Amino acid sequence: MTEPVCLKPASAAAQIQLIVAGYAMAYGSARIVGSRLGDIYGRRRMFISGLALFTTSSAACGLAPNAGVVVLARGMQGLSAALLSPQILAILSSLYEGTAWPRR
């Protein structure tokens, strides 16, 4: 079994910070675009695409040979989550309309 990338001596502190922040930066910057793509191309299609991309990028994170690959894969995870999460909210709001909407 190999040692995790973040524990290897070659991983600099800046790379570890990018691993953590790369997801948030990509997710935050692309969330509105992901919502608009769902409006244009269909929520179900974008949900499935986002889920497939997220799964693929998660596998890339797990199999990454160095910290640079992890940084790129985490960025892809953020972009695919930005594609995925607005579709969930839009699908739920279209399922429950009017009095069927659950009260809080």
Phi and psi at 18, nearest 5°, equal -70, -35
pLDDT of residue 19: 85
Share of the chain above pLDDT 90, in %: 61
**Is the pLDDT assigned to residue 66 strictly greater than 70?**
yes
pLDDT of residue 57: 96
Q: Where are the domains of the chain?
A: 15-91
Q: How far apart are CA 14 and CA 43, in angstroms?
A: 37
